[in-house]
Amino acid sequence: MLLVVVARRDGGSIRVMGKRVAVLVSGGGTNLQALLDDPALRPSIALVISDRPGVRSLDRASDAGVPSLVIEPDGDRASLSRRVAEALAAADIDVVVSAGYLRVLDDQVVATYRDRWLNVHPALLPAFRGMHGVRDALAHGAKVTGVTVHLVDDGVDTGPIVLQEAVAIRDDDVWDSLEPRIHDVEHRLLPRALRALLDGRLVREGRRVTIAAEDV
């Protein structure tokens, strides 16, 4: 398959010719389900890759008729990255989405999918980076947290921000009360960002990303 990508670093639309999407997951897959439930996105979801066997995400992929793979870490990030990169290439993947994927992949994947790789994070970046955004916001006593969808770069939760939405933290909030409200926002923002990327409506000027000509 011929893939043509125009991603102007000096400013302009990020355009992807080809809409085969791989979703990287580690757990229950509610964000994967939000993508599968979007009729504009479902035909583009071509592969699900999990770093763990037996997770609910794999059942969701099977129920939707989407091929899936389990690529478990072996203690070597370079090896995991190489195996994921090979799987993406073998499936002719154009766009990658991390939807609760708890692994950091190296430049073997980042360089190939730069500006074509989205991640959803349960906090308002740059605050509370890393794997425990909800827990860390509660532990810090924050009054506001939220959700960020961003482009993946070489760092951990450091890429250009595509969408953000705040979620107030109530005085009596605990994990079990806050996390569902975070999920509700994730399930809206991630499909919106992916639709924009696939439609060529993400416009990047340095680190600033906007969505052009969006139908609301």
pLDDT tens readout for residues 130-187 = 999 999 999 999 999 999 999 999 999 999 999 999 999 999 999 999 999 999 999 9
Domain membership of residue 213 (yes or no) is: no
Domain membership of residue 208 (yes or no) is: no
Q: Which of 121, 150, 183, 187 is an active site residue? A: 121
Can you give the pLDDT at residue 17? Answer: 64
The question of whether 121 is a catalytic residue gets the answer: yes
Average model confidence (pLDDT) for the chain?
92
| Host domain of residue 37 | 4-202
Q: What is the DSSP string of 103-156?
A: ----HHHHHHHTTSEEEEESS-TTSS-STTHHHHHHHHT-SEEEEEEEE--SSS
Can you give the pLDDT at residue 18? Answer: 76
Q: Predicted confidence band at 11 (pLDDT cuts at 50, 70, 90)?
A: low
Can you give the pLDDT at residue 214? Answer: 59
CA distances from 7 to 67, 71, 97, 110 (A): 28, 29, 17, 14
CA distance 213 to 215: 7
Q: Is 130 left (phi over 0), alpha (psi -120 to 50) or beta?
A: left
Average pLDDT over residues 86-95: 97
- Total domains in the chain come to 1
Is residue 19 classed exposed, middle or buried when 0-12, 13-18 and 19+ CB atoms within 10 A define those classes? Answer: middle
Domain membership of residue 210 (yes or no) is: no
pTM: 0.91
Domain membership of residue 212 (yes or no) is: no
Domain membership of residue 61 (yes or no) is: yes
Specify the CATH number for the domain of residue 111. Answer: 3.40.50.170
Domain membership of residue 207 (yes or no) is: no
Contacts of 77 (CB under 8 A, 6+ apart): 103, 104, 105, 106
Flag whether pLDDT at 13 surpasses 80: no
Can you give the pLDDT at residue 14? Answer: 76
